[in-house]
Amino acid sequence: MTQRALLTGAFGRRHAAWHAATPIPGVDPGFARLDAFGTEIHWHQYGRLGAVYGWQIDTSGDSSGAGRLRAMHWCNAAGRHRPPQGAALRA
């Protein structure tokens, strides 16, 4: 598989959404970031709904679903805006 194919497929969407999230000062940006609500998410917990730092790709801010990809903690993406106990919220 070519690099171009990787960046335009599912991995490319995941990568783009991750890089749209906010880096945490002093933390490896490839490991953890903050979603739009300030909830910590971890790269390796992608798609793990119910996990403390689990996240998914949210496109709710864009009616076409294609232009604005956001990495969003699963609770925030579900409209709960309350992460599970143990999840870190950062100001």
DSSP 57-77: EE-TT-TTSSS--EEEEHHHH
**Tens digits of per-residue pLDDT, 3-60?**
555 456 778 899 999 999 999 999 999 999 999 999 999 999 999 998 999 999 987 7
In a domain, 86, yes or no: no
Q: Rounded CA gap, 91 and 88, in Å?
A: 10
In a domain, 37, yes or no: yes
**Tens digits of per-residue pLDDT, 57-72?**
987 765 554 558 899 9
Looking at residue 91, its pLDDT comes to 46
How many structural domains are present in the chain? 1
> Would strands 70-73 and 55-58 be described as parallel, antiparallel, or unpaired?
antiparallel
In a domain, 51, yes or no: yes
Q: Rounded CA gap, 77 and 59, in Å?
A: 9
81: left (phi over 0), alpha (psi -120 to 50) or beta: left
Q: Which domain holds residue 60?
A: 3-77
